[in-house]
Amino acid sequence: MFNGGHVENGRVNGLLATSRALGDFGFKSTDTSDPGEQIVIAIPDIVEHRLSDEDEFLVLACDGIWDCMSSQQAISLIRQRIAEKTSLDTICEMILDHCLADPGTLTTAGCDNMTMVVVAFLNGRTVEDWYEVVGSRVAAGKLANPPSNSQATAKKGMAASKDRSEKTREMLKRLFSSQPRSTSTTT
C-alpha cells in the first residue's frame, strides 16, 4: 500500500472497508503524491458482465450496509420482498432501517453512513412482469446464483480493469501535474 497505509482486519488502516473511494479525504492527505498513489484511490476496479435472462437485479451499496449483512443475506431478503411485490425503494429503506444501529449501542455496525440502490434488470419486461418472474423463481425455490462463467468473466474484467486503471492513473497524473495545487491558511 502506498504512503504508509496498511490493511488491518480487512480494512485500510484498520478503519475503512474499501480501498477505492471518491470521498474519505483523510486517507488522501498526501499532497506530494499523485491521485493514484494515495492510501485510498478513486480509480475503480471495473468488471464487465454480459446480462442474461437469469440476472434479476444489481445491488449498489456502501460498506455501511456490508458491515451489517453479507451480500447473500441482502440478495435473499431483496428477492423475498420482490416476491411479496414490495417496491424497490421500500426494500432499500427496510434494509437501511435493519442496518441502522440502535441508539446507545456500543457496536460500530450501523453507525457508518449508508447508501443503497437496487437496479431491476427488466430484460424487456414490464415492471409488473418482472415482479412476477422473480416471484415465481423465489416460490419455486430457485436460488439466485451467479452465472457459471462468472469467475472467468471476472478474471477477464479484472485484466481489462487493470489496463483501464493504468490509463486512468496516467490521465489523472497529467491532469493534476498541470494544475497548481491550492493551499489554504487560517489565522
Total residue count of the chain as it appears in this document:
187
| Whether residue 38 is found in the same domain as residue 69 | no
| Whether residue 70 is found in the same domain as residue 29 | no
Please give the pLDDT value at position 14: 73
Report yes or no on 182 lying in a domain.
Answer: no
Report yes or no on 98 lying in a domain.
Answer: yes
Report yes or no on 64 lying in a domain.
Answer: yes
Report yes or no on 184 lying in a domain.
Answer: no
Q: What is the residue-wise DSSP string for 117-160? A: EEEE--TT--HHHHHHHHHHHHHTT------TTHHHHHHHHHHH
| Whether residue 70 is found in the same domain as residue 118 | yes
Confidence check: pLDDT of 72 > 70: yes
pTM of this structure: 0.64
Span of 54-58, 72-76, 92-96, 174-178 with lowest mean pLDDT: 174-178
Report yes or no on 134 lying in a domain.
Answer: yes
Query: Which residues span the domain enclosing 64?
Result: 57-139
| Whether residue 135 is found in the same domain as residue 63 | yes
Tally of domains in the chain? 2
| Whether residue 71 is found in the same domain as residue 130 | yes
Cell of 98: 435493519
Confidence check: pLDDT of 157 > 70: no
Q: State mean pLDDT over 25-36.
A: 67
Report yes or no on 101 lying in a domain.
Answer: yes
Between CA 94 and CA 106, with CA 100 as vertex, the angle to 5 degrees is 155
Please give the pLDDT value at position 178: 52
Looking at 119, 139, 159, the residue that finishes a domain is 139
| Whether residue 62 is found in the same domain as residue 5 | no
| Whether residue 38 is found in the same domain as residue 66 | no
